[in-house]
Amino acid sequence: MTATLDLFPHAAFRAVNSVVVGPFTKRGIGAPPVVGVGTVTVATTGRRSGRAHEVPLAAARLGDTVVVSTVRPNSEWVRNLESEPTTTIWLDGCARQAEASVQRLPGLTVATLRVNRQRA
């Protein structure tokens, strides 16, 4: 499955995410309920550039814990979270601070975000 995803141009993912998916998830459209699945936008800081990046991701939520994952072993957002685990997540249409921990498993990388109840 990873090979198939790698064939889809990175630029195409970026374009769809920035124009279509990202704006909706930041407004809370498709956000996971308190217990359930949906989409969120996670902001990271580039580990080399220092620039802000945002990526919409499928997520599972249980209260103030949000889990996002990828099968792409070299996803930049994962590397950025590993470098700087303090992040911002858009959840229910609000930006909130969160602390991330990343676990790399064979064929899957999982980031667990502990969301601060106060807005960022």
Domain count of the fold of the chain: 1
pLDDT tens for each residue of 1-32: 445 555 556 667 666 666 667 788 888 888 99
In whole angstroms, what is the distance from residue 90 CA to residue 75 CA? 19
**Average pLDDT for residues 86-108, to the nearest whole number?**
94
Residue 88 is part of a domain; what is its CATH number? 2.30.110.10
pLDDT tens for each residue of 37-47: 999 999 999 99
Q: Which residue has the tokens 């909130």?
A: 96
Q: Which of 7, 110, 17, 4 is nearest to 66 (CA)?
A: 110
Q: Please give the span between the terminal C-alpha atoms of the chain, in angstroms, as a whole number.
A: 36
Give the residue numbers spanning the domain of 53: 2-119
